[in-house]
Structures are given as C-alpha cells and as structure tokens.
A = this chain, B = another copy of it.
Amino acid sequence: MQSGLRSKLLEAFSNAEGGFVSGQKLSEYIGCSRTAVWKHIEDLRKDGYELEAVRRLGYRITKKPNKISDNEIKIGLKTMKMGHHVHFEETVSSTQKIAQTLANEGAEEGTIVVAEQQTNGRGRMARQWYSPSGTGIWMSLIIRPNIAVQAAPQLTLLTAVAIVQAIEEITPLKPDIKWPNDILINGKKLVGILTELQAEADRVHSIIIGTGINVNQSISDFPEELHHVATSIHLETDKQWDRAQLIQEILLKFENLYSLYLAQGFRPIKLLWEGYAVSLQKPITARTINGTVVGKAIGINDAGVLLIQTSDGSVKQIYSADIELQ
C-alpha cells in the first residue's frame, strides 16, 4: 500500500475515535473504489491491526499493532511543530548519532529520530543504554532554541518534566526525577535522558535530546545485572502500553513546556521540576570528577545547577555528578 493512502485510511479511523466508519465513507475519504478500500484493510490486518467488520456499520479498529512507525506517530499528533518530521528506522546504532548528522545537515526544529531497536544506545558519559527491539521508546529530538550555551543544561530538566507529565497522563504511575537526567519508579530507572549540543561560545546551533524509556519490557527482557536497578512501565502496571501514543503525549507536553520556557525563562520549569525531584531535602552523595560531596540537596539554581549544603553549612554547586540517595 502506498504510504499516503495508508495514512489517509488510518486518519479516517482516527477521526472516528474508535467508532465504525462505513466502506462508503472510507472510499470517499481516501479517494478510491470500495474494492480498493477492502484490499487496504486486508493490508492493515497483515500488518497486525485487528479490525471488526459489521454489516451496515462498516469497519472499526479494535487493536493497533504495538509498533512504532512514521504513521503511528503522526496520526493523532496534536503538536504544532514537535514530531512533524519523523525519521524512523527499525534498527540503528544510536538515535543520537543519526539526529546529530541530520542536525548538521540542517534538519528542522522538532525533527525526531525513532527506532525499534538500538544496538549501541548511549547514556550519559558514554555509558550504554540497553535498548532491545520493540519494547521501549528510543527517540532523539532536535531543537534549535535561541539561548546561551550556559542555559543548555536546563533543557534536560525541562524534558524530564515533560516525560513525567506524559507518563502521569497516560498511565497510573507517579514517577520521580533524580538529578540530573533519570526518571525513577520506586527507586528503579524507568527513563534516561541524554542532552547533547553543538554550539558557538554564545549561540546554540542545535540541541539533541535523547530519551530511552522502558515501556513494555518484561523482566526477561532485561539482562540479569539490571534486574535490581531498572524497570519498565509494563512491569509496574502489568499492562502493555501503546508506545506511539506515549510518544505523542511526550511531544505535546514537551512543546507546551518549551513554549513556556522560551517565553518566560527557566523559572516556571524550575518550580515544576522541583515538585517531581526525589533528591531534594534529603542527604545525598554526589560523586564528581573532582571528588565526592556529601550533604543535603537543597535545590537547583536558575542555571539548573544542583545545590548541596554540606555539614559545615556551606553550599556547593554541582554541575555534573552521579547522585546516590542515602
């Protein structure tokens, strides 16, 4: 099936919001014969869609395949800009790498790179991010804000808020944020965020925000050594979740927060972030390149830098560290 016709067909079902659409209506909407409509519906079935056909009422989709594709992301997407260009691949080494190349070639703000599988998914500090096929959201988003380099780390915090809001919107979970870039459920890692940038000293060229979200993994999908540190939305809710829908919700929440940020600065984002932050007002250990800082996390400053009050009362600014809650 031509992808244009398929999009129109899925769009027609999407507009009906789960209800029936008659063959006549479908044939008018996509501009082809009723026989052709029937063929396209068979193609959808082959691709994993389940459809109900009822005489006089027409067709309705009862189950979408749990796959991500350009179409699945675009149809029903409510954003103005984010996700309007989708670069989808089945298997990539890392979505960040592809997004970087696209950004260098001038890709528009809002372009996303999504894959079903990453063979070399990266986390912060060149660490691995385990990204098995068809289970999670492995996505990189390109943005081009007119901000100073000094402000770029704020975007990691903004993204964390957007993802928590989207998860709360769609699932019953209430995740926590751990500075700077992890989202946890019951202390286990659910989401990692990797923000990378290319910039001049006083002008950001592009920021690429990579997210790894564990959605439908069962315990056997994680290697043994991750069992006590990682979890998935499925493991916490005992349900399978529609990843494309989650992507749409994340893009929408991100776009709203990003508009707010560009208009009013980091202050409102900071307040939202602090509401989700698990590491605040607790004793923590921060391991930095220059040594370990032990104290109480008292907040973040307007630059997104973590503030730790040590036992002598002084406040240390932490730009980069691994945080351990005590």
Q: Which residue numbers of A lie inside 8 Å of B, CB to CB?
A: 124-125, 146, 148-150, 152-153, 155-156, 180-181, 194-203, 289, 303, 305, 319-320
- Chain B residue nearest to A148 in the complex (CB): B319
Would B149 and A197 count as touching, CB distance under 8 A? yes
Please report the C-alpha to C-alpha distance between residue A152 and residue B203 in the assembled complex, in whole angstroms: 12
Q: How many copies make up the complex? A: 2
Would B149 and A201 count as touching, CB distance under 8 A? no
Partner pick for A319 among B150, B195, B320, CB 8 A cutoff: B150
| 9 A/B residue pairs, CB under 8 Å, sorted by A | A124-B202, A125-B203, A148-B319, A150-B150, A196-B201, A197-B197, A197-B199, A198-B198, A202-B320
Please report the C-alpha to C-alpha distance between residue A284 and residue B146 in the assembled complex, in whole angstroms: 23
Please report the C-alpha to C-alpha distance between residue A194 and residue B305 in the assembled complex, in whole angstroms: 26
- Chain B residue nearest to A150 in the complex (CB): B150
Q: Using A197-B200, A197-B201, A202-B320 as known contacts, list a sample of 6 further A-B pairs with CB atoms less than 8 Å apart, ordered by residue number in A.
A: A148-B319, A149-B149, A150-B319, A152-B199, A195-B201, A196-B200
Q: Return chain B residues, CB-CB under 8 Å to A200.
A: 124-125, 194-197
- Closest Cβ of chain B to A247, distance in Å, is 21
